[in-house]
Structure 1
């Protein structure tokens, strides 16, 4: 036998060994069915009980395994971005994997060196004043035209509230804004501060209801759009939006609104955020916060190991558990008046964003973004949708009242 033949047999045996090891780690599904196609072979793994059926087509098995075995969850995402595997339904696949996540511990666990490198990277993105501006710009200053391709016409980048299956994204976002106004119940002429004003959707609705709104953002691109919007609607006398870090604000307001901004604060600054919230509110004033939360069960491990979102989408970000939010509110002398959750509405919002994004993919390419960027955003939207569907994530609207 020639040396070349011997090497070919050795490579084949190595491939079979790695494949057998990989399949053995997956052959423990609690629920659902996972179909794995690689090198022309199809393997079907059935769970103990029926559930979702998902398929993964592995294009480059060696590269896929290398990333997965060295980087765990993050390597799985990076392998998708690199087109080393594909699937006909990314959200369903991530739901299936999420439902069986306790069975995949050996696969999901990255090497210690990889985890350390990831934690150092996350630490380097902490939300100091300079870091906050850099982190916000990294995500929101991709260009207003990019977000315009797949958000609703009102340019709202947060969970909508669906009253019916027939609601459009635009209607759901208006329902959400109206509910926040219903929570704080501002009187005509009341002063409202919005921390993280986005593209100005809430400020526009509040000002149209004769409320004085100050808003702050760290995204120059968003702020430019929002100010043009307010001018166009003839609301400039009621709204002032500026490029300011919330930590530099002064004065006092009747109400504070913060819609999915807390997630970008960073755990090291949560105390400072709530302290500032208290300082900015008049006594008996109210704060309405809309916050994405992570389950109590997942919170401890999530804190220790930055995930795909923190690495690629929201550098410096951190989701709280509900218990952590409540303890912070109590520590800073807030009364919890109301706490409502509607995480499945976020899954629906994300589903609609994903549909819009995929339909606009050619236009995203035309803006100069490459295939890896496209797949990163597809993974991001599906990853989040799956998180809400399996209830690892939730969406809370809470109303706090400042006590004496």
Structure 2
């Protein structure tokens, strides 16, 4: 089903020497231990990473650090001796300062740019989404919980299971949007149908939009099995092509796939489709505003391998887009960042435990390392508070 990507080692000797110097300088101040061949150890002490092939590792960092670090993990050029997320979290906590400020000014000359082919036009967005969400419904079923929910859960205590925390998260969004019996609800981003299912059980009439054919198929099946298919329409349609009037709109971790170029269209769509007095509720992954501005043009490992066309917002960017492009008002907000770190750890554990069955679906060892790195890297972002995830309520006068 998927084959290992070709990962030739780039030849960048001058940049590799610079990268090695910067890496050694940065790691001296980071509470990790980096082991190199021959017994050398660098770092301030802590979770251990082992560089197996220093030449390849530093050439990748020199050629493109934002992509090369993750690619080096895929190629087994470095490994985690201890837990991978534990080792990545100290780096995530120092993301803004790992590279000395004078060198950060050179970012525009060395960072790869996002490919124009991955712009989130209507056709481009469908292709981008398909590359991730249409991998295989069976793959996602192996590591998600019974609700098939692929976004941050909301945990109340350490003993709570993942499915209960996911249902709390969904109910939180529905409450922010004021969904009750008789509500006409639009959902932007169906997932595999759990939010639509719970809204229908409240008595809402739901239209839910997706641009993933795989998700549409399974969502319809799950809704029919739950006995609510008569109250939910699952439509294969881009949000920009939506029509109608709705009392409420819900959209959970879909805005990350919109792209900065289309934020005005996304928020204007919410405004256009909501009736006066209507309410919308978003769940959005955020990053610090200064880091968003500094990296807005960068092409990263996550873009290349996991979420093409993706772009995170900041709290400020959400408020600015709402102010500039809508008549809506920002209302209640809650942060679920700590819960997302736990969600990602559970997904990674379940993914690795299920690997023999996932491999049986046709996925190879490089895919396993790719997804292990993606889930650990994301967990590190939330554990370090570099990333957050917000539930945001919006109201239309």
TM value normalised by structure 1: 0.89
1:5 is matched with which residue? none
The 2-side partners of 1:294 and 1:102 are apart by 11
Counterparts of residues 1-400 of structure 1 (less than 5 Å):
22=20, 25-29=23-27, 32-46=30-44, 53-88=46-81, 89-105=83-99, 115=111, 118-121=112-115, 123-331=116-324, 332-400=326-394
Q: Indicate if the aligned counterparts of 1:33 and 1:44 stay in contact, CA closer than 8 A.
A: no
Q: Indicate if the aligned counterparts of 1:30 and 1:100 stay in contact, CA closer than 8 A.
A: no
Distance 1:208 1:21, change over 3 A: closer
SS of the residue 1:40 aligns to: helix
Distance 1:201 1:19, change over 3 A: same
State the superposition RMSD in angstroms: 2.2
Q: How many residues align?
A: 379
Alpha-carbon distance, 1:100 to partner: 3.4
Unaligned runs of 5+ in 1: 1-14, 47-51
Alpha-carbon distance, 1:90 to partner: 1.2
Alpha-carbon distance, 1:114 to partner: 5.9
CA deviations on 1:175-219 (whole Å, 9 max, x unpaired) are 011111221223311100000011000011111111111101001
The 1-side partners of 2:128 and 2:28 are apart by 39
Larger RCO, structure (CA 8 Å, separation 6 or more): 2
Alpha-carbon distance, 1:43 to partner: 1.0
The 2-side partners of 1:399 and 1:197 are apart by 19
CA deviations on 1:105-158 (whole Å, 9 max, x unpaired) are 16997987762xx3142x320111110110111000001000001001110000
The 1-side partners of 2:72 and 2:319 are apart by 38
Q: Indicate if the aligned counterparts of 1:54 and 1:96 stay in contact, CA closer than 8 A.
A: no
Q: Indicate if the aligned counterparts of 1:256 and 1:286 stay in contact, CA closer than 8 A.
A: yes
